[in-house]
Amino acid sequence: MPEALVEQPRVRPRIRPRTRIRFGRVAAYLFVGSGALLMVLPFLAALFNSLKSHAQYIEVPPVILPDPPQWSNYSQVWDRAPFGTYALNSFVIATAATVGNVLSSAMVGHALARMRLPARGALLTAALGTLMLPTVVTIIPSFLMFREFGWLDTFLPLIVPFWLATPFGIFLMRQSFLAIPQDFQEAATLDGAGPWRIFTRIHLPLVKPALATLSVFTFMASWGAVLEPTVYLTSPDKLTLPLGVMGLRGQFVGNDQLVTAAALMSLVPILVLFVVAQRYFVRGAMSAGVKG
């Protein structure tokens, strides 16, 4: 082998790392993109189904793309029922329930985590024990109670219970308050702060992520609730979105394409809400690290 050739310095082609990086990036994008596509497929299927005629909807083997798209399905949904009213009702109920649950669960959770109470553990266990009772078991006693209150066919049975704290909310908030160092409370007490001031000015700002989490969970649960609104609401102008969507189902007639269109439309308000509010949730999550 010629010496000169052996001694020649090895020059790495500059393009190689770039190629490697590019290849890596492309692979990553492909991986993430295919994952995203997979996740969006059910949504696309629902979108296409919402634009089919009923005959196309039930066709075997199924056709993927609606031909021609039945845009009138969406206008039919609006003609059949007052979906604007349903959306407003759902929004009012979900907002009021969320505010109530966050406030009351935070207070109860704080008391159980930070205050000296008799039978504190037993109270928490009792509250958590009610999680084991499915709603279907308690619906009739609740109905009887609300009937006595004169609350049937009003929003109150769907809101007021949330203002009395929920077991999940209590547990979540208690755990969050327990994670705050005791020193903060002691320092505030030395500075003359009372329990209310410690709760509102010291502890509550430190559990913003938990508050955001509880808000999201409560809003979603209330927004998507079916059984309670079915039982308590009877007037057409007081129904909620899920009831409106399911009300389109016929016993014999196939309305699946309309139900799908209505279900997709019912997603819009909540999607908008989360797009608008997501930065607050993120900020709430980040603030814990900064202030803690």
Partner 1 sequence: MPIRSTTMPIRRAVRTRTAASALALTMALTATACGGDSGGAADGKTTITLGYYAEAGGPADGTMRKLVKEFEKANPTIRVKIESADYDKFHTRLRTQLAGRKAPDVWLSDGVLVQEFAGRGSLRDLSGYASELNADDYLGVDLIKKGDPKGRLYGFPQGAQSTALFYNKKLFKDAGVAEPTADWTYDDLLAAAKKLTKDTNGDGKPDVYGFRSYSPSFVESWWPMVEAFGGEVLGDDGKVAIDSPGSREAFDWMLKTMYEDKVAPDPVTTEALGKSQTLFPSSVVAMQFGIYARIQTANQGKVDFGVAPLPKGPDGQRGDLANINAWVINRAAPDARAEAAWKWIEFFSGEKPQTDWTAIGEAIPINKKVTQTPAFLSPETPPAERKVFLDSLADADDLGLNPVWSEYTTALAEAVTGALNKESSVPDALKTGQDEAQSAIDRFRPAG
Q: Give contact residues for partner 1 (rule: CB under 8 A).
A: 54-55, 58-60, 62, 79-81, 88-89, 92-93, 95-96, 99, 139-140, 143-144, 147, 150-156, 159, 227, 230-231, 234-236, 238, 243-244, 246-255
Q: What are phi and psi of 200, to 5 degrees?
A: -80, -35
Pick 165 or 248: Cβ nearer partner 1 = 248
- We find the least distance from the C-beta atom of residue 225 to partner 1, in angstroms, to be 13
Rounded distance, CA 177 to CA 108, Å? 11
The Cα 135–Cα 57 span in angstroms is 34
Q: How many CB atoms lie within 10 A of CB 215?
A: 20
When the beta carbons of 9 and 61 are compared against partner 1, the nearer one is 61
In whole angstroms, the minimum distance from the beta carbon of 57 to partner 1 comes to 9
Which CB atom, from 161 or from 175, has the smaller least distance to partner 1?
Answer: 161
Looking at the Cβ atoms of 155 and 177, the one nearer to partner 1 is 155
Tokens 């008391």 correspond to 111
The CA distance from 184 to 198, in Å, is 9
Please give the helix or strand (H or E) that residue 180 lies within, else none.
none
Query: What are the φ/ψ torsions at residue 14 (nearest 5 degrees)?
Result: -65, -20
DSSP per-residue letters across 105-145: HHHHHHHHHHS--TTHHHHHHHHHHGGGS-HHHHHHHHHHH
C-beta closer to partner 1: residue 155 or 199:
155
Question: Residue 198 Cβ, how far from partner 1 at the closest point, in Å?
Answer: 18
Q: To 10 degrees, what angle do helices 15-50 and 256-291 make?
A: 140
Q: Please, what is the minimum distance in Å from the beta carbon of residue 255 to partner 1?
A: 6
- Minimum CB distance to partner 1, residue 126 (Å): 26
Nearer to partner 1, 33 or 250 (CB): 250
Token pair, residue 42, equals 């059910």
Taking every pair of Cα atoms in the chain, the longest distance, rounded to a whole number of angstroms, is: 104
CB of 286 to partner 1, least distance (A): 18
